[in-house]
Chains A and B, each alone.
Chain A
Amino acid sequence: MFEISPTEWTAILLSLRVASIATLVATPLGIAVAWLLARRDFWGKSAVDALIHLPLVLPPVVTGYLLLLTFGRRGLVGEWLADHLGIVFAFRWTGAALACGVMSFPLLVRPIRLSIEAVDRKLEQAASTLGAAPWHVFMSVTLPLALPGVLAGMVLGFAKAIGEFGATITFVSNIPGETQTISSAIYALISTPDGDPAALRLVIVSIVIAMSALIASEWFARRATQRLHGN
Protein backbone atom coordinates (compact mmCIF):
# COMPACT_ATOMS: atom_id res chain seq x y z
CA MET A 1 0.00 0.00 0.00
CA PHE A 2 2.78 2.45 0.90
CA GLU A 3 5.11 1.39 -1.88
CA ILE A 4 5.40 4.22 -4.41
CA SER A 5 5.59 2.79 -7.91
CA PRO A 6 8.04 3.99 -10.61
CA THR A 7 5.19 5.64 -12.56
CA GLU A 8 4.16 7.53 -9.47
CA TRP A 9 7.75 8.58 -8.84
CA THR A 10 7.90 9.88 -12.41
CA ALA A 11 4.84 12.04 -11.80
CA ILE A 12 6.19 13.31 -8.46
CA LEU A 13 9.62 14.23 -9.85
CA LEU A 14 8.04 15.81 -12.92
CA SER A 15 5.76 17.91 -10.70
CA LEU A 16 8.71 19.08 -8.63
CA ARG A 17 10.70 19.92 -11.75
CA VAL A 18 7.82 21.73 -13.44
CA ALA A 19 6.96 23.75 -10.32
CA SER A 20 10.60 24.60 -9.55
CA ILE A 21 11.37 25.76 -13.07
CA ALA A 22 8.11 27.69 -13.25
CA THR A 23 8.89 29.44 -9.95
CA LEU A 24 12.54 30.16 -10.76
CA VAL A 25 11.74 31.63 -14.18
CA ALA A 26 8.71 33.57 -12.95
CA THR A 27 10.44 35.10 -9.92
CA PRO A 28 12.71 37.68 -11.63
CA LEU A 29 9.82 38.66 -13.89
CA GLY A 30 7.49 38.78 -10.88
CA ILE A 31 9.92 41.05 -9.00
CA ALA A 32 10.15 43.40 -11.98
CA VAL A 33 6.35 43.57 -12.36
CA ALA A 34 5.87 43.95 -8.60
CA TRP A 35 8.35 46.83 -8.56
CA LEU A 36 6.62 48.55 -11.48
CA LEU A 37 3.23 48.24 -9.80
CA ALA A 38 4.57 49.33 -6.42
CA ARG A 39 6.82 52.19 -7.44
CA ARG A 40 5.82 53.56 -10.82
CA ASP A 41 2.78 55.29 -12.19
CA PHE A 42 2.24 54.70 -15.86
CA TRP A 43 -0.51 54.70 -18.41
CA GLY A 44 -2.40 51.39 -18.38
CA LYS A 45 -1.19 50.39 -14.94
CA SER A 46 -4.59 49.09 -13.84
CA ALA A 47 -4.87 47.12 -17.09
CA VAL A 48 -1.53 45.43 -16.38
CA ASP A 49 -2.66 44.73 -12.83
CA ALA A 50 -5.91 43.19 -14.08
CA LEU A 51 -4.14 41.13 -16.73
CA ILE A 52 -1.83 39.59 -14.14
CA HIS A 53 -4.74 38.68 -11.92
CA LEU A 54 -6.80 37.25 -14.76
CA PRO A 55 -5.61 33.62 -14.32
CA LEU A 56 -6.84 33.81 -10.74
CA VAL A 57 -10.44 34.51 -11.78
CA LEU A 58 -10.72 32.89 -15.21
CA PRO A 59 -11.70 29.23 -15.44
CA PRO A 60 -8.33 27.41 -15.66
CA VAL A 61 -9.54 25.62 -18.76
CA VAL A 62 -9.90 29.02 -20.47
CA THR A 63 -6.34 30.02 -19.53
CA GLY A 64 -5.12 26.64 -20.78
CA TYR A 65 -6.96 27.06 -24.06
CA LEU A 66 -5.61 30.58 -24.52
CA LEU A 67 -2.11 29.23 -23.90
CA LEU A 68 -2.73 26.57 -26.51
CA LEU A 69 -3.87 29.20 -29.02
CA THR A 70 -0.86 31.39 -28.29
CA PHE A 71 1.96 28.96 -27.54
CA GLY A 72 0.74 25.85 -29.38
CA ARG A 73 2.75 24.50 -32.28
CA ARG A 74 0.66 26.65 -34.68
CA GLY A 75 0.04 29.40 -32.14
CA LEU A 76 0.96 33.01 -32.76
CA VAL A 77 3.99 32.98 -30.50
CA GLY A 78 4.51 29.24 -30.38
CA GLU A 79 5.24 28.91 -34.09
CA TRP A 80 7.78 31.72 -34.02
CA LEU A 81 9.52 30.36 -30.92
CA ALA A 82 9.72 26.86 -32.44
CA ASP A 83 11.06 28.10 -35.79
CA HIS A 84 13.54 30.66 -34.48
CA LEU A 85 14.64 29.47 -31.06
CA GLY A 86 13.69 25.81 -31.16
CA ILE A 87 11.56 26.19 -28.05
CA VAL A 88 8.43 24.05 -28.11
CA PHE A 89 5.80 24.19 -25.39
CA ALA A 90 2.97 22.11 -26.78
CA PHE A 91 2.66 18.69 -25.14
CA ARG A 92 6.05 19.04 -23.46
CA TRP A 93 6.96 19.41 -19.81
CA THR A 94 8.11 22.96 -20.65
CA GLY A 95 4.51 23.74 -21.56
CA ALA A 96 3.40 22.40 -18.19
CA ALA A 97 5.92 24.74 -16.58
CA LEU A 98 4.60 27.66 -18.64
CA ALA A 99 1.01 26.90 -17.63
CA CYS A 100 2.00 26.59 -13.97
CA GLY A 101 4.01 29.82 -14.18
CA VAL A 102 1.10 31.77 -15.64
CA MET A 103 -1.40 30.34 -13.18
CA SER A 104 0.78 30.98 -10.14
CA PHE A 105 2.00 34.43 -11.27
CA PRO A 106 -0.64 36.49 -9.43
CA LEU A 107 0.10 34.65 -6.19
CA LEU A 108 3.81 35.20 -6.71
CA VAL A 109 3.54 38.91 -7.49
CA ARG A 110 1.21 39.99 -4.73
CA PRO A 111 3.39 39.43 -1.64
CA ILE A 112 6.40 40.84 -3.47
CA ARG A 113 4.49 43.95 -4.41
CA LEU A 114 3.24 44.44 -0.86
CA SER A 115 6.71 44.03 0.58
CA ILE A 116 8.23 46.49 -1.91
CA GLU A 117 5.49 48.99 -1.05
CA ALA A 118 6.42 48.53 2.59
CA VAL A 119 10.08 49.45 2.03
CA ASP A 120 10.61 52.98 3.31
CA ARG A 121 11.37 55.20 0.32
CA LYS A 122 13.36 57.43 2.62
CA LEU A 123 15.96 54.66 2.82
CA GLU A 124 16.10 54.63 -0.96
CA GLN A 125 16.62 58.39 -0.94
CA ALA A 126 19.39 58.02 1.62
CA ALA A 127 21.06 55.47 -0.64
CA SER A 128 20.92 57.82 -3.61
CA THR A 129 22.53 60.66 -1.63
CA LEU A 130 25.33 58.19 -0.87
CA GLY A 131 25.97 57.80 -4.59
CA ALA A 132 23.88 54.74 -5.45
CA ALA A 133 22.38 54.77 -8.94
CA PRO A 134 18.73 53.62 -9.15
CA TRP A 135 19.62 50.03 -10.09
CA HIS A 136 22.07 49.80 -7.18
CA VAL A 137 19.51 51.30 -4.82
CA PHE A 138 17.15 48.54 -5.84
CA MET A 139 19.70 45.75 -5.48
CA SER A 140 21.28 46.91 -2.23
CA VAL A 141 18.31 48.39 -0.36
CA THR A 142 14.87 47.68 -1.84
CA LEU A 143 15.32 44.03 -2.73
CA PRO A 144 17.06 42.90 0.47
CA LEU A 145 14.42 44.67 2.56
CA ALA A 146 11.63 43.11 0.48
CA LEU A 147 13.18 39.65 0.72
CA PRO A 148 10.63 38.14 3.11
CA GLY A 149 7.90 39.03 0.62
CA VAL A 150 9.91 37.63 -2.26
CA LEU A 151 10.33 34.32 -0.44
CA ALA A 152 6.68 34.23 0.56
CA GLY A 153 5.70 34.86 -3.05
CA MET A 154 8.01 32.14 -4.30
CA VAL A 155 6.63 29.57 -1.87
CA LEU A 156 3.04 30.51 -2.61
CA GLY A 157 3.75 30.38 -6.34
CA PHE A 158 5.48 27.03 -5.98
CA ALA A 159 2.60 25.55 -4.00
CA LYS A 160 0.12 26.78 -6.59
CA ALA A 161 2.30 25.42 -9.41
CA ILE A 162 2.50 21.99 -7.76
CA GLY A 163 -1.27 21.83 -7.53
CA GLU A 164 -2.07 23.32 -10.93
CA PHE A 165 -4.35 21.09 -12.96
CA GLY A 166 -6.91 22.66 -15.27
CA ALA A 167 -4.73 24.89 -17.42
CA THR A 168 -1.95 22.31 -17.60
CA ILE A 169 -4.11 19.43 -18.76
CA THR A 170 -5.86 21.67 -21.30
CA PHE A 171 -2.63 23.04 -22.70
CA VAL A 172 -0.29 20.05 -22.65
CA SER A 173 -2.62 17.10 -21.99
CA ASN A 174 -1.81 14.21 -19.67
CA ILE A 175 1.18 12.32 -21.05
CA PRO A 176 2.93 10.04 -18.53
CA GLY A 177 6.59 10.97 -18.19
CA GLU A 178 6.21 14.21 -20.12
CA THR A 179 3.28 16.26 -18.85
CA GLN A 180 1.62 14.04 -16.26
CA THR A 181 2.11 15.88 -12.99
CA ILE A 182 0.86 14.67 -9.61
CA SER A 183 -2.50 16.34 -10.13
CA SER A 184 -3.12 14.88 -13.57
CA ALA A 185 -1.85 11.49 -12.41
CA ILE A 186 -4.37 11.52 -9.56
CA TYR A 187 -7.06 12.52 -12.01
CA ALA A 188 -6.13 9.63 -14.32
CA LEU A 189 -5.91 7.16 -11.42
CA ILE A 190 -9.29 7.90 -9.89
CA SER A 191 -10.99 7.30 -13.20
CA THR A 192 -9.21 3.93 -13.52
CA PRO A 193 -10.56 0.78 -11.81
CA ASP A 194 -8.33 -0.14 -8.81
CA GLY A 195 -6.55 3.19 -9.06
CA ASP A 196 -7.57 4.33 -5.57
CA PRO A 197 -4.55 3.15 -3.53
CA ALA A 198 -2.13 4.80 -5.97
CA ALA A 199 -4.23 7.97 -6.02
CA LEU A 200 -4.19 8.05 -2.22
CA ARG A 201 -0.42 7.70 -2.14
CA LEU A 202 -0.09 10.67 -4.45
CA VAL A 203 -2.57 12.64 -2.37
CA ILE A 204 -0.41 12.05 0.70
CA VAL A 205 2.72 13.06 -1.24
CA SER A 206 1.10 16.31 -2.37
CA ILE A 207 0.03 17.10 1.18
CA VAL A 208 3.60 16.51 2.39
CA ILE A 209 5.05 18.75 -0.34
CA ALA A 210 2.55 21.53 0.38
CA MET A 211 3.15 21.36 4.13
CA SER A 212 6.93 21.40 3.70
CA ALA A 213 6.68 24.44 1.44
CA LEU A 214 4.57 26.30 3.99
CA ILE A 215 6.89 25.42 6.86
CA ALA A 216 9.91 26.44 4.80
CA SER A 217 8.33 29.77 3.95
CA GLU A 218 7.54 30.47 7.61
CA TRP A 219 11.11 29.68 8.52
CA PHE A 220 12.57 31.90 5.78
CA ALA A 221 10.23 34.73 6.68
CA ARG A 222 11.20 34.56 10.35
CA ARG A 223 14.90 34.56 9.56
CA ALA A 224 14.54 37.41 7.12
CA THR A 225 12.54 39.50 9.59
CA GLN A 226 15.19 38.95 12.24
CA ARG A 227 17.84 40.09 9.81
CA LEU A 228 15.91 43.22 8.92
CA HIS A 229 15.21 44.29 12.44
CA GLY A 230 18.83 44.41 13.26
CA ASN A 231 19.14 41.49 15.65
Chain B
Amino acid sequence: MLRVDVSKQLGDFKLEAAFESEGRVTGLFGSSGAGKTSLINMIAGLLRPDRGNIVIDDEVLDDTASRVHVPAHRRRIGYVFQDIRLFPHLDVRENLDYGRRMNGLTEDSLRRKRVTELLDIGALLDRRPGKLSGGERQRVALGRALLAQPRLLLLDEPLGSLDEERKEEILPYLVRLRDEAGIPMVYVSHDAAELRQLATQIVMLKRGQVTVFGGVKVLTGTP
Protein backbone atom coordinates (compact mmCIF):
# COMPACT_ATOMS: atom_id res chain seq x y z
CA MET B 1 0.00 0.00 0.00
CA LEU B 2 1.22 3.46 -0.92
CA ARG B 3 -0.22 6.55 0.72
CA VAL B 4 0.85 9.99 -0.40
CA ASP B 5 -0.35 13.34 0.88
CA VAL B 6 2.17 16.07 0.12
CA SER B 7 2.57 19.64 -0.93
CA LYS B 8 5.61 21.37 -2.34
CA GLN B 9 6.26 24.82 -3.70
CA LEU B 10 8.53 24.72 -6.75
CA GLY B 11 9.07 28.27 -7.96
CA ASP B 12 5.68 29.52 -9.13
CA PHE B 13 4.33 26.01 -9.26
CA LYS B 14 2.55 24.43 -6.34
CA LEU B 15 2.25 20.68 -6.18
CA GLU B 16 -0.50 19.44 -3.92
CA ALA B 17 -1.27 15.78 -4.25
CA ALA B 18 -2.98 13.14 -2.17
CA PHE B 19 -3.85 9.58 -3.10
CA GLU B 20 -3.76 6.09 -1.71
CA SER B 21 -3.19 3.08 -3.87
CA GLU B 22 -3.30 -0.66 -3.37
CA GLY B 23 -2.92 -1.37 -7.04
CA ARG B 24 -0.19 -3.44 -8.60
CA VAL B 25 0.48 -0.65 -11.08
CA THR B 26 -0.55 2.85 -10.16
CA GLY B 27 -0.59 4.96 -13.29
CA LEU B 28 0.32 8.58 -12.74
CA PHE B 29 -1.23 10.37 -15.67
CA GLY B 30 -0.92 13.98 -16.76
CA SER B 31 0.52 16.26 -19.39
CA SER B 32 4.09 17.49 -19.11
CA GLY B 33 4.45 20.11 -16.41
CA ALA B 34 1.67 18.58 -14.31
CA GLY B 35 4.15 17.70 -11.56
CA LYS B 36 4.42 13.96 -12.15
CA THR B 37 8.18 13.74 -11.91
CA SER B 38 8.32 15.99 -8.83
CA LEU B 39 5.76 13.75 -7.20
CA ILE B 40 7.67 10.53 -7.75
CA ASN B 41 10.94 12.25 -6.83
CA MET B 42 9.29 12.85 -3.48
CA ILE B 43 8.27 9.22 -3.22
CA ALA B 44 11.85 8.22 -4.07
CA GLY B 45 13.21 10.59 -1.42
CA LEU B 46 15.11 12.75 -3.92
CA LEU B 47 12.88 15.73 -3.15
CA ARG B 48 11.63 16.72 0.26
CA PRO B 49 7.98 17.76 0.63
CA ASP B 50 7.24 21.08 2.33
CA ARG B 51 4.36 19.48 4.14
CA GLY B 52 2.69 16.12 4.34
CA ASN B 53 3.52 12.46 4.54
CA ILE B 54 4.42 9.43 2.46
CA VAL B 55 3.75 5.95 3.81
CA ILE B 56 4.47 2.54 2.31
CA ASP B 57 3.07 -0.56 3.98
CA ASP B 58 2.81 1.20 7.35
CA GLU B 59 6.37 2.49 7.17
CA VAL B 60 6.50 6.25 7.32
CA LEU B 61 9.05 7.56 4.81
CA ASP B 62 8.18 11.22 5.11
CA ASP B 63 6.24 13.01 7.76
CA THR B 64 6.93 16.72 8.03
CA ALA B 65 4.91 16.99 11.26
CA SER B 66 7.25 14.62 13.11
CA ARG B 67 10.27 15.59 10.99
CA VAL B 68 10.70 12.15 9.50
CA HIS B 69 12.59 12.00 6.22
CA VAL B 70 14.09 8.67 5.26
CA PRO B 71 16.93 9.39 2.77
CA ALA B 72 16.65 7.91 -0.72
CA HIS B 73 19.29 5.25 -0.18
CA ARG B 74 17.40 3.74 2.76
CA ARG B 75 13.97 3.64 1.11
CA ARG B 76 14.40 0.53 -1.01
CA ILE B 77 12.41 2.15 -3.77
CA GLY B 78 13.61 1.38 -7.28
CA TYR B 79 13.56 4.13 -9.87
CA VAL B 80 13.67 3.80 -13.64
CA PHE B 81 14.38 7.22 -15.09
CA GLN B 82 13.18 8.64 -18.35
CA ASP B 83 16.78 9.52 -19.22
CA ILE B 84 17.92 6.04 -18.16
CA ARG B 85 21.07 7.03 -16.21
CA LEU B 86 23.13 3.87 -16.50
CA PHE B 87 26.62 4.25 -15.04
CA PRO B 88 28.83 4.86 -18.08
CA HIS B 89 32.01 3.62 -16.41
CA LEU B 90 30.55 0.21 -15.53
CA ASP B 91 29.61 -2.58 -17.91
CA VAL B 92 26.10 -4.01 -17.97
CA ARG B 93 26.95 -6.75 -15.48
CA GLU B 94 28.34 -4.23 -13.00
CA ASN B 95 25.39 -1.91 -13.52
CA LEU B 96 23.02 -4.78 -12.76
CA ASP B 97 25.02 -5.78 -9.72
CA TYR B 98 25.29 -2.25 -8.31
CA GLY B 99 22.17 -2.26 -6.15
CA ARG B 100 22.93 -5.67 -4.68
CA ARG B 101 26.43 -4.54 -3.70
CA MET B 102 25.26 -1.25 -2.21
CA ASN B 103 22.53 -2.93 -0.19
CA GLY B 104 24.91 -5.62 1.04
CA LEU B 105 22.67 -8.37 -0.31
CA THR B 106 24.14 -11.81 -0.84
CA GLU B 107 24.74 -12.92 -4.38
CA ASP B 108 21.70 -14.60 -5.83
CA SER B 109 22.48 -16.10 -9.23
CA LEU B 110 18.97 -17.49 -9.55
CA ARG B 111 17.38 -14.08 -9.19
CA ARG B 112 19.90 -12.54 -11.55
CA LYS B 113 19.19 -15.25 -14.11
CA ARG B 114 15.45 -14.73 -13.81
CA VAL B 115 15.72 -10.97 -14.30
CA THR B 116 18.19 -11.19 -17.20
CA GLU B 117 15.90 -13.73 -18.88
CA LEU B 118 12.77 -11.70 -18.22
CA LEU B 119 14.38 -8.69 -19.88
CA ASP B 120 16.45 -10.57 -22.47
CA ILE B 121 19.70 -8.88 -21.54
CA GLY B 122 21.88 -11.94 -21.01
CA ALA B 123 23.83 -11.28 -24.20
CA LEU B 124 24.66 -7.70 -23.20
CA LEU B 125 26.42 -8.37 -19.91
CA ASP B 126 29.96 -7.53 -21.01
CA ARG B 127 29.08 -4.38 -22.90
CA ARG B 128 29.31 -0.79 -21.78
CA PRO B 129 26.16 1.37 -21.82
CA GLY B 130 27.76 3.42 -24.63
CA LYS B 131 27.52 0.37 -26.87
CA LEU B 132 23.81 -0.31 -26.30
CA SER B 133 20.76 0.83 -28.25
CA GLY B 134 18.15 2.99 -26.51
CA GLY B 135 15.82 0.04 -25.97
CA GLU B 136 18.59 -2.15 -24.61
CA ARG B 137 19.64 0.58 -22.21
CA GLN B 138 16.15 0.94 -20.85
CA ARG B 139 15.88 -2.83 -20.35
CA VAL B 140 19.19 -2.84 -18.47
CA ALA B 141 17.96 0.09 -16.35
CA LEU B 142 14.85 -1.93 -15.50
CA GLY B 143 16.99 -4.90 -14.55
CA ARG B 144 19.29 -2.75 -12.46
CA ALA B 145 16.36 -1.36 -10.48
CA LEU B 146 14.79 -4.82 -10.03
CA LEU B 147 17.98 -6.47 -8.79
CA ALA B 148 18.29 -4.00 -5.92
CA GLN B 149 15.16 -5.81 -4.65
CA PRO B 150 12.97 -2.76 -4.15
CA ARG B 151 9.60 -2.92 -2.43
CA LEU B 152 8.21 -0.40 -4.89
CA LEU B 153 9.30 0.44 -8.41
CA LEU B 154 8.92 3.93 -9.84
CA LEU B 155 8.94 4.24 -13.60
CA ASP B 156 9.13 7.77 -14.99
CA GLU B 157 8.03 7.67 -18.62
CA PRO B 158 10.35 4.74 -19.27
CA LEU B 159 9.29 4.77 -22.92
CA GLY B 160 9.52 8.54 -23.23
CA SER B 161 12.99 8.64 -24.73
CA LEU B 162 12.26 5.90 -27.26
CA ASP B 163 10.78 6.01 -30.75
CA GLU B 164 7.57 4.13 -31.62
CA GLU B 165 9.36 0.98 -32.69
CA ARG B 166 11.42 0.82 -29.49
CA LYS B 167 8.29 1.40 -27.43
CA GLU B 168 6.76 -1.68 -28.98
CA GLU B 169 9.97 -3.49 -28.09
CA ILE B 170 9.82 -2.56 -24.39
CA LEU B 171 6.09 -2.71 -23.65
CA PRO B 172 5.85 -6.52 -23.55
CA TYR B 173 8.68 -6.58 -21.00
CA LEU B 174 6.80 -4.14 -18.81
CA VAL B 175 3.68 -6.31 -18.98
CA ARG B 176 5.76 -9.34 -18.02
CA LEU B 177 7.32 -7.36 -15.22
CA ARG B 178 3.91 -6.43 -13.88
CA ASP B 179 2.67 -10.02 -14.05
CA GLU B 180 5.79 -11.86 -12.91
CA ALA B 181 8.01 -9.70 -10.72
CA GLY B 182 5.47 -9.15 -7.96
CA ILE B 183 6.69 -5.64 -7.15
CA PRO B 184 4.11 -2.85 -6.97
CA MET B 185 4.84 -0.07 -9.42
CA VAL B 186 4.07 3.59 -9.93
CA TYR B 187 4.08 4.23 -13.64
CA VAL B 188 4.31 7.81 -14.87
CA SER B 189 3.11 8.60 -18.35
CA HIS B 190 1.36 11.22 -20.44
CA ASP B 191 0.23 8.49 -22.83
CA ALA B 192 -3.23 7.14 -22.00
CA ALA B 193 -2.84 4.16 -24.34
CA GLU B 194 0.27 3.03 -22.52
CA LEU B 195 -1.47 3.25 -19.16
CA ARG B 196 -4.53 1.37 -20.41
CA GLN B 197 -2.21 -1.52 -21.18
CA LEU B 198 -0.26 -1.45 -17.95
CA ALA B 199 -1.96 0.30 -15.06
CA THR B 200 -4.47 -1.12 -12.61
CA GLN B 201 -5.26 2.22 -11.01
CA ILE B 202 -4.99 5.78 -12.25
CA VAL B 203 -4.05 8.99 -10.52
CA MET B 204 -4.69 11.92 -12.81
CA LEU B 205 -2.59 14.99 -12.19
CA LYS B 206 -3.32 18.43 -13.56
CA ARG B 207 -1.27 21.53 -12.75
CA GLY B 208 -0.02 20.00 -9.54
CA GLN B 209 -3.39 18.78 -8.31
CA VAL B 210 -4.93 15.31 -8.31
CA THR B 211 -8.10 15.69 -10.35
CA VAL B 212 -9.26 12.12 -10.71
CA PHE B 213 -8.45 8.88 -8.94
CA GLY B 214 -9.85 5.48 -9.86
CA GLY B 215 -9.68 2.46 -12.14
CA VAL B 216 -8.30 2.49 -15.68
CA LYS B 217 -11.75 3.41 -17.01
CA VAL B 218 -11.20 7.01 -15.84
CA LEU B 219 -8.95 7.31 -18.88
CA THR B 220 -11.93 6.90 -21.20
CA GLY B 221 -12.11 9.79 -23.57
CA THR B 222 -8.55 10.97 -22.95
CA PRO B 223 -6.18 10.81 -25.90
Interface residues on A, range: 20 to 34
Please, what's the 1-or-0 string for B97-114, where 1 marks a CB less than 8 Å from any CB in chain A? Answer: 011001100000000000
- Contact between B72 and A129 (Cβ–Cβ < 8 Å)? yes
The answer to whether A140 has its CB under 8 Å from any CB of chain B is: yes
The answer to whether B176 has its CB under 8 Å from any CB of chain A is: no
- Contact between B130 and A136 (Cβ–Cβ < 8 Å)? no
The answer to whether A127 has its CB under 8 Å from any CB of chain B is: yes
> Knowing A230-B128, A231-B128 touch, does A131 contact B148 (C-beta < 8 A)?
yes
- Contact between B88 and A130 (Cβ–Cβ < 8 Å)? no
Interface residues, chain A, with chain B CB atoms under 8 Å away: 120, 122-123, 125-134, 136-137, 140-141, 144-145, 227-231
Q: A123-B85, A133-B102 are in contact. List 19 more A-B contacts (CB 8 A).
A: A122-B81, A125-B46, A125-B72, A127-B87, A127-B98, A128-B45, A128-B71, A128-B73, A129-B44, A129-B72, A129-B77, A131-B73, A131-B76, A133-B73, A134-B73, A136-B102, A140-B98, A227-B89, A231-B131
The answer to whether B144 has its CB under 8 Å from any CB of chain A is: yes
**Complex interface residues of chain B between 141 and 193 (CB less than 8 A to chain A):** 144-145, 148
- On chain A, the residues within 8 Å of B45 by CB distance are 128-129
CA distance A128 to B98 in the complex (A): 11
Distance of A119 from chain B, by nearest CB (Å):
10
- On chain A, the residues within 8 Å of B145 by CB distance are 129-130
- On chain B, the residues within 8 Å of A227 by CB distance are 89
- Contact between B72 and A231 (Cβ–Cβ < 8 Å)? no
Please, what's the 1-or-0 string for B47-81, where 1 marks a CB less than 8 Å from any CB in chain A? Answer: 00000000000000000000000011111111101
